[in-house]
């Protein structure tokens, strides 16, 4: 059994920020990450730029410098990786936490499996869940969704040159993907259940997209949904009926959700709107000693903008831990 004071699950920007805030109050938290550091950002489109300016993505008081107004994906990967190294954050990468259970001593016992298939056990006073969303896409629940041609992620346009591509969704990610695909010669159809363009679309992008739609270079289907996918086509349904169009690939950019099964297995309740129960002032869930940090606590669509606020969750957690009677009385107290 490995004894730790605080364990953080997830080494995204907000998990790293929480570890650094805990360092500031004398707690050397351990992060357990089932993939690589800031894995979610490594999954972003290859040539993506953030909406946020670099100073709004900074953690640990370390400046994020870039020659551009908005940092790129590769710059963000470099920044967060270097922050973790400079602050000597302890990270067990490629290790997946499989369970969290309370112990008789008022602590939490965690089990995990590392990349070698070895099972490990830990004990900690509190657990911060900073797992993000991106392993759990919102599925369509339609025939053909499990085909290899369907992806919930878009990384770069080049592989789709000359292909018929259906994009499901109307958010910024869908619009950006459609623009990139059109530039490399893909034949793009965007299928969106809304009656009009989403209000969240970046204002400097929307005119370009609308122009391409009006010229017929991108096909737009409002108030529509894909109801079936097969190897050569997709079937689209709207108020006027159904149509079948030729298709080579489907990008189902329908958003993501937290790992509800894992959260409920710990005892965390889920609100009717779909997000976990937690106190916004302390980030503690309805289960004492279980905290949330980052997009797992988002009440809306998860995207990089949430780093702007999620990076401050660690300070709330550290403040609450130090003030809590529970952590002063349990053995192995937080204070050095």
Question: What token pair was written down for 160?
Answer: 């789709």
Domain check: are 187 and 247 in the same one?
yes
Domain check: are 127 and 175 in the same one?
no
Average pLDDT, the chain: 90
Which among 190, 225, 252 is the end of a domain?
252
Question: What token pair was written down for 32?
Answer: 């357990």
Dump pLDDT digits (tens) for 168-211.
Answer: 999 888 999 999 999 999 999 999 999 999 888 888 889 999 99
pLDDT band, very low/low/confident/very high, at 278 (cuts 50, 70, 90): very high
CB atoms within 10 A of CB 45: 16
Domain check: are 36 and 169 in the same one?
no
Question: What token pair was written down for 57?
Answer: 């993505």
Distance CA 186, CA 189 (A): 10
User: Domain for residue 107, yes or no?
Assistant: yes
The CATH number of whichever domain residue 79 belongs to comes to 3.50.50.60
Query: Helix, strand, or coil here: 207?
Result: helix
Which among 224, 252, 280 is the end of a domain?
252
Distance CA 314, CA 18 (A): 4
Domain check: are 23 and 70 in the same one?
yes
Dump pLDDT digits (tens) for 318-328.
Answer: 999 888 765 66
Which residue's structure tokens are 């998990």?
15
CA nearest to 296, candidates 258, 269, 331: 258
Cα within 13 Å of Cα(296), Cβ side: 34
Dump pLDDT digits (tens) for 198-246.
Answer: 888 888 889 999 999 999 999 999 999 999 999 999 999 999 999 999 9
Which among 231, 252, 273 is the end of a domain?
252
Query: Helix, strand, or coil here: 226?
Result: strand
Domain check: are 267 and 226 in the same one?
no
Is the Cβ–Cβ distance between 108 and 128 less than 8 Å? no
Domain that holds residue 203: 150-252
User: Domain for residue 163, yes or no?
Assistant: yes
**H-run or E-run covering 191:** strand 187-191
Domain check: are 123 and 267 in the same one?
yes
Q: Which residue has the higher pLDDT, 314 or 297?
A: 314
Q: In 184-237, which residue ranges form alpha helices assigned H by DSSP?
A: 206-214
pLDDT band, very low/low/confident/very high, at 304 (cuts 50, 70, 90): very low
Dump pLDDT digits (tens) for 93-138.
Answer: 999 999 999 988 889 999 999 999 999 999 999 999 999 777 778 8
pLDDT of residue 326: 59
What phi, psi does 123 have (nearest 5°)?
-135, 135
Q: How many structural domains comprise the chain?
A: 2
CA nearest to 135, candidates 311, 260, 284: 260
Percentage of the chain beyond pLDDT 70 is 94
Q: Does the global pTM surpass 0.75?
A: yes
pLDDT of residue 58: 94
pLDDT of 301 above 60: no
CA 104 to mean position of chain CA atoms: 33
C-alpha distance across the termini of the chain, in Å:
21
pLDDT band, very low/low/confident/very high, at 11 (cuts 50, 70, 90): very high
Burial of 126 from C-beta contacts in 10 A (0-12 / 13-18 / 19+): buried
- Looking at residue 139, what DSSP letter applies? -
Q: Where are the beta strands (DSSP E) in 210-310?
A: 218-221, 225-229, 233-238, 241-246, 249-252, 290-292
**H-run or E-run covering 78:** helix 73-86
pLDDT of residue 48: 85
pLDDT of residue 291: 96
């Amino acid at each position: 059994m490995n004894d730790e004071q605080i364990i953080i699950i997830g080494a995204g920007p907000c998990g790293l920020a929480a570890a650094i805030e805990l360092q500031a109050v004398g707690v050397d938290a351990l992060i357990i990450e089932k993939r690589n550091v800031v894995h979610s950002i490594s999954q972003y489109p290859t040539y993506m730029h953030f909406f946020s300016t670099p100073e709004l993505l900074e953690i640990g008081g370390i400046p994020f410098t870039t020659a551009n107004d908005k940092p790129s994906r590769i710059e963000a990967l470099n920044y967060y990786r270097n922050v973790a190294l400079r602050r000597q954050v302890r990270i067990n990468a490629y290790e997946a936490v499989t369970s969290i259970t309370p112990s008789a001593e008022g602590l939490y016992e965690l089990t995990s499996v590392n990349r070698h298939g070895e099972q490990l056990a830990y004990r900690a006073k509190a657990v911060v869940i900073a797992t993000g969303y991106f392993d759990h896409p919102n599925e369509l629940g339609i025939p053909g969704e499990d085909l290899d041609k369907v992806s919930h992620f878009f990384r770069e346009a080049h592989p789709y040159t000359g292909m018929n591509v259906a994009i499901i969704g109307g958010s910024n990610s869908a619009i950006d993907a459609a623009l990139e695909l059109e530039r490399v010669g893909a034949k793009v159809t965007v299928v969106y259940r809304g009656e009009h363009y989403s209000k969240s679309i970046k204002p400097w992008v929307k005119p370009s997209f609308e122009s391409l739609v009006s010229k017929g270079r991108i096909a737009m289907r409002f108030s529509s949904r894909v109801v079936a996918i097969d190897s050569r086509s997709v079937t689209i349904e709207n108020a006027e009926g159904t149509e079948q169009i030729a298709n080579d690939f489907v990008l189902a950019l329908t958003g993501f959700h937290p790992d509800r099964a894992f959260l409920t297995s710990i005892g965390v309740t889920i609100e009717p709107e779909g997000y976990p129960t937690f106190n916004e002032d302390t980030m503690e869930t309805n289960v004492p000693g279980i905290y949330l940090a980052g997009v797992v606590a988002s009440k809306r669509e998860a995207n990089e903008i949430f780093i702007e606020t999620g990076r401050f969750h660690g300070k709330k957690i550290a403040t609450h831990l130090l003030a809590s009677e529970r952590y002063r009385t349990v053995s192995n107290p937080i204070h050095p």
